Amino acid sequence: MITDKSVGLSEIIQDDHPYRITTARSVDSLSRSVDLSGVLHPCILLKEGGTEDRGGYVVVSGHLRIEAMKQTGGTLVPARVVDASQDRQAALLHCARAAVMDNAFSRPLDMVEKAKGVALLNRYMSLEEIVKDSPALFNERLNLRIAENLLTLGRQPANIHRMVLESRLSIKTLAKLETFDPDIRDRFIRLFQYIKMGQNKQLDVVVHIQEIAAREDLSIAEFMDSEKVDSIVTMDHPDENLKSAHLRNFLAERRFPEKTKARQEYRAALKELDFGNAISLDPPRDFEGDTYRISFDFKTADEFNRALDKLIRARYSDRLRELIK
Amino acid sequence: MKIEKLFIDPAVLGMEETETIRRNLKLSGEVVEKESGIFEYLAAFPDPVLQGKKTLYITHNPGALIKECPGTSHYTCCDYTILHAGTFCTMDCSYCILQAYFNPPLLRYFVEHERIRQELENIARKDRIYRIGTGEFTDSLIWEPISDLPAFLVQQFAKQDRAVLELKTKTVNIDSLRHVDHNRKTIVSWSLNTPEVIRSEERGTASLPARLKAARKCVSWGYKVSFHFDPVVIEPGCEKAYTEVIDRIFEYIRPEDIVWISIGSFRFMPALKPMIEKRFPESKICYGEFIQGLDNKMRYFKPLRIRVYKAMADRIRSRSREIFVYFCMEDEKVWNETLGFFPEKEGELGHMLDKSAAEHCGLGTGN
């Protein structure tokens, strides 16, 4: 079923790469290496039928090596050729495994590569089987939830893969977005193309928008198209962190109006105590418990005394009593 | 929800309670050696929780029959005692914690008449008052159409004067209670909500008027009743809706027949949220203004709770100042701002409820 041979570059299919999981594009360094020492490790190819104008070998592993050979003018590729003519299913499974393992055991895979690997293997194996064999396939142990998320990602188009690689979209957010209609999913994708934020913040934004829409009897699309959301998303400002903060503050206020109001009132009352920046008086978390916490920083005995004076003055303040009621 | 599938533990085969249920369900049932076989059966359905409501397993209770309510830290508990007579429910409330409590949830009827008899004899010898309910892990009266459990319990409690039984329900399955000599030792209790919440969140339960009519019938049979507003669902306009329900109670029931009314707002373990979102996609119940409570359960932002509770408590008090109103799992600030007092000492709320039970039901008097 497997033979070692040299295959002409012209016999290799160039426009269809069902086994490609690597996300690397540049082969400059590899080209110099190939130019210097040739291809050190044979590529893995799957022998298909082939026609007059199309080669008969599909690349299973070694996409970058073949690209580097093309750049350096090579013509013959050292290869291990898998013949699928006898037992096609077994051969295809072997190729899927080889495509993943050849990459996973030579370097750490990025998220998209793992995802593409899971999606490729899932054509021939169940997710449970992939999880079970994951140490041998991926050189790391996957659990079922991670494998499910990776499969979701692996089935996405190239633009989504790019966003994940650029940390514009987290795999958890993507899994959440998959629960929506495609139109809504695409709206969120566009939102995260405009505004970059961390994984947890991204998920919060999705959940808040979904829940605000439900609370206010709006569709998600209606809410996302609203003037306020649109004005934040399309704000002409180079600082994405600022836009992200604006959006999250707006959503938190709309999702938790009473809590936001209470916080604002607390801050306003605190300001009147004139503690300044050095002294913090923190309310119970979400105003649920009954324990307040006071803390202050000082570098010198004078600073310590000044803070203490402020606290002593505050103890007779009606404002303080109102604040801690 | 109709019970479609019956499994029987070989240990209870041929026992009278088992045979009564078989007869009433008109199902012969499948004998299973291990409960795990039933879990596999349920797991094969697209909604195992829903299937668990149609699948009954008759067995013994492998654990304690009488348990103290676990309560929760930081919030005041009513010190209720649970009689663990069965699990899960044939009705399908979106907010039901039992969906996530058992893994997977399944209707279980415990064949334990003899043990219950013995436990009650022990309780009758003790020098304290017990408030005992079967409505913690199941609805007390879903069992009424298929078994003699509710009537049996009423009869057993009637024989002593140390404990009162509270049968808590959202059904109107009361017929078998009619001719039982209850000796005032049973309180029939309804969980109440607004018609809107009943319609949107409490699938398969009786309507509000039906519950109140059933309560009135029980009163006419000499039973005392109680009501539980739990979960109160806080949304715009809910104060008016809940106070209207309170008004309706008094259209049906005289204040002196009500032993107590409890109020508790919707609270949930975070793990319940995805379950509700999956099983009840139309429900908005999870999207209230929740914060993480001190017991790590999600609960409404405190000022919202206080606002609604105050409106409800004021309305009840405007009708009667004698009815004992209490909160399920609330803190000092909520009690003080809504009812003007707080049962501060450990067990104090429980003692107050014991007192109300004793007065209404003749406990500890040798009656």
- How far apart are the CA of B287 and the nearest CA of chain A, in angstroms? 6
Q: What angle do CA B58, B140, B212 make, to 5 degrees?
A: 145
- CB distance A285–B292 less than 8 Å? yes
What are the phi and psi torsion angles at A316 (to 5°)? Answer: -95, 0
Residues A209-238 have a mean pLDDT of 92
Q: Which amino acid is at A14?
A: Q
pLDDT digit string (tens) for A78-101?
999 998 888 889 999 999 999 999
Residues A276-286 have a mean pLDDT of 92
pLDDT digit string (tens) for A300-319?
999 999 999 999 988 888 88
Of all residues in chain A, the one with the smallest CA distance to B292 is A286
* Residue from B238, B287, B300, B337 whose CB has the most chain A CBs within 10 Å, to mutate: B287
Q: What are the E-state strand segments in B60-111?
A: 66-68, 81-83, 86-87, 92-93, 107-110
- CB distance B303–A258 less than 8 Å? yes
The residues in A 246-305 lying below 8 A from B, measured between CB atoms, are 255-259, 262, 285-290
> pLDDT grade, residue A299 (50/70/90)?
very high
Q: Which two tokens stand for residue A158?
A: 């190239």
Shortest CA distance to B334 belongs to which of B312, B356, B319, B357?
B312
pLDDT digit string (tens) for B214-255?
999 999 999 999 999 999 999 999 999 999 999 999 999 999
- Contacts of A174 by beta carbon, 8 Å cutoff, 6+ apart: A149, A152, A153, A156, A160, A164
Cβ atoms of A255 and A212 within 8 Å: the answer is yes
> What's the pLDDT score for residue A1?
76
Task: Count CA atoms within 13 Å of residue A295 on its CB side.
Answer: 4
The predicted complex's ipTM stands at 0.87
> What's the pLDDT score for residue B82?
94
Of all residues in chain A, the one with the smallest CA distance to B337 is A325
How much of chain B, in percent, has pLDDT values that exceed 90? 89
Q: Which two tokens stand for residue B76?
A: 């005041």
> pLDDT grade, residue B16 (50/70/90)?
very high
- Contacts of A309 by beta carbon, 8 Å cutoff, 6+ apart: none
- CB distance A257–B289 less than 8 Å? yes
Q: Which two tokens stand for residue B128?
A: 């304290």
- How far apart are the CA of B304 and the nearest CA of chain A, in angstroms? 8
- CB distance B302–A287 less than 8 Å? yes
Q: Which two tokens stand for residue B352?
A: 């107050």
Tokens 């319609």, residue located? B199
Q: Which two tokens stand for residue B107?
A: 């209707």
Q: What are the E-state strand segments in chain B?
A: 5-8, 30-31, 55-59, 66-68, 81-83, 86-87, 92-93, 107-110, 130-133, 163-169, 186-191, 202-203, 224-232, 258-265, 267-268, 290-292, 298-300, 324-327
Q: How far apart are CA B159 and CA B98, in angstroms?
A: 32
Question: At residue B84, does pLDDT exceed 50?
Answer: yes
User: Residue B108: helix, strand or coil by DSSP?
Assistant: strand
State the DSSP H helix or E strand holding residue B242, giving kind and residue range, or none if neither. Answer: helix B238-252
Average pLDDT taken over every residue of chain B: 94
User: Residue B25: helix, strand or coil by DSSP?
Assistant: helix
Average pLDDT taken over every residue of chain A: 91
pLDDT digit string (tens) for B275-292?
999 999 999 999 999 999
Q: Crossing angle, helix A111-121 and helix A158-165, to 10 degrees? A: 140
Question: At residue B367, does pLDDT exceed 50?
Answer: no
Of all residues in chain A, the one with the smallest CA distance to B306 is A288
The residues in A 7-26 lying below 8 A from B, measured between CB atoms, are none
Q: Read off the DSSP letter of residue B137.
A: S
The residues in A 166-225 lying below 8 A from B, measured between CB atoms, are 211, 214-215
**A chain contacts of residue B284, beta-carbon cutoff 8 Å:** 214-215
Tokens 């707080």, residue located? B342
- CB distance A258–B332 less than 8 Å? no
- CB distance B289–A258 less than 8 Å? yes
Q: Where are the domains of chain A?
A: 1-106, 108-155, 160-255, 272-323
Q: What are the E-state strand segments in B41-185?
A: 55-59, 66-68, 81-83, 86-87, 92-93, 107-110, 130-133, 163-169
- How far apart are the CA of A69 and the nearest CA of chain B, in angstroms? 52
Architecture of domain B5-361: Alpha-Beta Horseshoe (3.80)
Shortest CA distance to B311 belongs to which of B360, B249, B253, B263?
B263
Shortest CA distance to B29 belongs to which of B13, B52, B17, B48?
B13
Q: 3-state SS string over chain A?
A: CEEEEEEEHHHECCCCCCCCCCCCCCCHHHHHHHHHHCCCCCEEEEECCCECCECCEEEEECHHHHHHHHHCCCCEEEEEEEECCCCHHHHHHHHHHHHHHHHHCCCCCCHHHHHHHHHHHCCCCCHHHHHHHHHHHHCCCCCHHHHHHHHHHHCCCHHHHHHHHCCCCCHHHHHHHCCCCHHHHHHHHHHHHHCCCCHHHHHHHHHHHHHHHHHCCCCHHHHHCCHHHHHHHCCCCCCHHHHHHHHHHHHHHHHCHHHHHHHHHHHHHHHHCCCCCCEEEECCHHHCCCCCEEEECCCCHHHHHHHHHHHHHHCCCHHHHHHCC
pLDDT digit string (tens) for A139-193?
999 999 999 999 999 999 999 999 999 999 999 999 999 999 999 999 999 999 9
pTM of the model: 0.86
Residues B40-48 have a mean pLDDT of 93
Burial (CB < 10 A; 0-12, 13-18, 19+), residue A25, is: exposed
> What's the pLDDT score for residue B118?
95
> What's the pLDDT score for residue A56?
87
- CB distance A288–B287 less than 8 Å? no
Q: How far apart are CA A224 and CA A128, in angstroms?
A: 38
The residues in B 244-303 lying below 8 A from A, measured between CB atoms, are 284, 286-287, 289, 291-294, 299, 301-303
Tokens 């899932």, residue located? A122
Shortest CA distance to B229 belongs to which of B188, B190, B202?
B190
Residues B149-161 have a mean pLDDT of 96
**B chain contacts of residue A260, beta-carbon cutoff 8 Å:** none
> What's the pLDDT score for residue A322?
85
Transcribe B337-354 into DSSP letters.
Answer: HHHS----STTHHHHHHH
**A chain contacts of residue B292, beta-carbon cutoff 8 Å:** 285-286, 288
Return the minimum-mean-pLDDT range out of B101-110, B138-147, B200-209, B276-285. B101-110
Cβ atoms of B27 and B58 within 8 Å: the answer is no
> What's the pLDDT score for residue A53?
60
Of all residues in chain B, the one with the smallest CA distance to A289 is B294
> What's the pLDDT score for residue A52?
58
Pick the more confident residue, B136 or B220: B220
Q: Which two tokens stand for residue A18?
A: 């069902």
- CB distance B287–A215 less than 8 Å? yes
CATH 3.90.1530.10 fits A1-106, yes or no: yes
Closest Cβ opposite residue B292 in set A256, A258, A286: A286
Closest Cβ opposite residue A289 in set B287, B294, B303: B294
- CB distance A214–B284 less than 8 Å? yes
Question: At residue A69, does pLDDT exceed 90?
Answer: no
- CB distance B291–A259 less than 8 Å? yes
Residues B174-191 have a mean pLDDT of 97
- CB distance B284–A215 less than 8 Å? yes
Question: At residue B198, does pLDDT exceed 60?
Answer: yes
Shortest CA distance to B303 belongs to which of A272, A260, A213, A269?
A260
**B chain contacts of residue A290, beta-carbon cutoff 8 Å:** 331-333
- How far apart are the CA of B270 and the nearest CA of chain A, in angstroms? 14
> How many contacts (CB atoms, under 8 Å) link A and B?
39
- CB distance A258–B301 less than 8 Å? yes
User: Residue B5: helix, strand or coil by DSSP?
Assistant: strand
